[in-house]
Structure 1
Amino acid sequence: MTLNRVICEKRTYSRAFASHQHDYGQFLFPLQGSMEIQTEKQHLHLKTDHCFYLPPGCLHTFRSIDRNEFLVLDMPMRYVSYRANGLYLQMDQQWEAIRFLLLEEAHHSNGSTVALNDLTRYVSQKLQHSLHPSIEYIHNHYHQHMKVSELAKLEHYHPIYFSSWFKQMTGKSPKAYISAVRLDAAKRLLRDTDFSIAHISQEVDFNHPSSFTKWFVRTERDISTNVPQKLHLG
């Protein structure tokens, strides 16, 4: 059955495994307890410090083995932006504020008002601009050594699936994406600071300036023939 209106309500889930998919997006905000959720490529344990968005047509298996309560936002297709996979998000202050507003609407309006529709549009827009945890981690920790297996854990993906999923999302392999982020950081530091090459190399996870120099020139040459003048090769 096609969902024609936004539904926002509290729900509880049983200990027995259930599986289904639906033709609308669904956002899960844990209020109490936790839930095991498994999709084709993801397996996660959703607790109150995170929320989770399920896109339309995503077959998922789920259960809760403890006392639980969830705020569930069912989003008709007209509110949904395309995402091939679920989006696992930390409950930061913005999402906590959204959850509070949704709770108020669900409590006072039986889950269907103009305000709720406006909130759902806002949620949809925010989802479009939300970075996946692994991508956000790369941007925040490019100066540290990273393993693909560790990035896969952030998305609750098996490493075998993660690399192909990541390339689908970004157009690059994880290794190439990390390299591109580090290159941008190195170029910014070369242009805007007086840091030494040795210091900059450490900022982008190179132990030796010579290794950094070779990597920088090789990577930059693939994109442009212009090498920042601060990088002396003589």
Structure 2
Amino acid sequence: MNENITYIFQGTNYMDLTLYQYGRETCAPLLSCGPAAHNHYLLHYILDGKGLFTIGTDRSYSLHAGQAFLICPKSITTYTADKADPWTYIWIEFDGLKVPPFLSDAGLGLQHPIYAPTDPAGSRELESLMLQMLDSHDNSLRLLGGMYWILETLIRTSSRRKPPKTGNLQEFYAHEAQMYIERHYNQNITVAQLANWCNLDRSYFGKIFKDTVLVTPQEYIIRYRINVACDLLKDTDLSIGDISAQVGYDNQLHFSRAFKKVMGISPRDWKKRNRIPAMPDSKE
């Protein structure tokens, strides 16, 4: 028998980190999800039982309670409950501009998708935090804070975590470029402009930005613009054309293509799914 509880995050679409949905599922024997690709990250923590997680056609992982597996955007995955001891897991769908470096610090990503704790205490802490998410579905700020806490716990307790970072010049330049993008995202920003702003050679700047932020400068610009567009689609009555212009696209078709590539659906469909209805005027 399969039991599934799903909650949809109702809060603001934050740029650095946002939630989409989360839940808990007790799977029937051999219940399989996929093969499928997802638009955002999904983290599954196994509460009980066993199962098999497969990426593509050539990488499979036999997993059990106390472990977690990460699904990265656009990767083709399948996960199947064990026949004799099917798993129960908690899952969270999330994304954001800061998510790739957070996961990288935990040693997690497409090439290393399995969370294994350094000791059982780390696993129990992660389990407790993810269970708390299910009890906070009516409080968006608590949910968002809980997600930051979960990421911090992954970084601190993962057996694959990277050594703690210390401030360095590369991080300074990447941060300067990110601040420039946040101030000028609605203009025609080029990688050459960002490199000039940091007084660096264009090729060298592009390398240190990707090494630090884990996406190229152009990818970061696009994702930042799309995140701003999501807020405008959700919270305003502006047309798609007006929104595309406000986030730096002269051509609405180019905006729609970029939006669909990042979010998986068109701006119009995204708005229909996420639009916050206006509050009715109060009558005296």
Normalising to structure 1: TM-score of the pair? 0.47
